[in-house]
Amino acid sequence: MLNNLTYYAALVLETAVGAFGVRLYEEPPYMVVDRIGDVEIRKYPPRLAAEVEYPQHAGARGNDAFMLLFNYIAGANGGTPDDNKIAMTVPVEMREPQRIAMTTPVETVQDGGVGRLRFFLPATVRRETAPKPDNDRVKIVTVPEETVAVLRFSGLGMGKELAARQAELAGQLARSKWQQAGVPFALYYDGPFTLPFLRRNEAAVAVTLKQ
C-alpha cells in the first residue's frame, strides 16, 4: 500500500507518460504455453482482484463500476488514511453482461445478465491484508488458475471493434488444438488518455485442449 504523496505523484506520472503508450503499471505474471498465429495462449496462476458486478443493459452503470473500483484503490477502503492507497495494475478485465449461458463467455456459465469489471491487485497484496472496501458492491475475489487465449489489438477496444476481434480469435481457435471454455472477455492495459493507436487491448477467452 502507498501513502498519499507517493500515490498521487505516481498517478500523475503514469497518466502523463501513459498518453504515449508507456506503461508503468504492474501486470500479473503469466507463462506463454502456445502461439497460434497472432493468438497467444497464456497460463495465469491464481490472482487477487477487486470486482464489481453490473446488470445487463446497465448503460452508465458500467462506468459506475469502474469508478467504484478506482475509488477503492484510491482509498475508499478500510485502510488507515496514510496507508490505504493501492497501486494501480493492468490489465483491467471486463466481462460483458450475458442474458443466458453461452458456449464461450460466449464461458459456459450462466451469468444471469451480470457483467463483471475487475482490477487485479498488486502481488504484494494478500487476501487477508487487502483493505476492506467501503462499498458493498466491491468484492475482493481470488481468480483461480486459468489458461487464456488472447488476441492483441489497438484502438478503443469497444463495441463492433471488440466483437470483430473476438470473432477473429474464435476463428483461429477453431482451427487449432484449443477450444473455448468460457465467455469471451476483454483486457485493457491503458488509461482513457492514451492515444488509440498506441493502446494495448486484448480479446480473450478461457481455453482448454480439445479432446
Beta bridge partners of 130: none
The tally of domains found in the chain comes to: 1
Instruction: Take residue 197 and report the three cell numbers written for it.
Output: 493507436
Q: In this model, does residue 108 exceed pLDDT 90?
A: no
Indicate which CATH number applies to the domain containing 19.
3.20.80.10
191 CB neighbour count, 10 Å cutoff = 17
Mean pLDDT value of segment 74-92: 66
Name residue, grid cell 471486463: 94
CA end-to-end distance (rounded Å), the chain: 44
| Model confidence band, residue 103 (pLDDT cutoffs 50, 70, 90) | very low
Look up the domain containing 108 and give its range. 4-209
pLDDT, tens only, 169-187 = 999 999 999 999 988 999 9
pLDDT, tens only, 156-169 = 888 899 999 999 99
pLDDT, tens only, 186-205 = 998 887 778 888 888 999 99
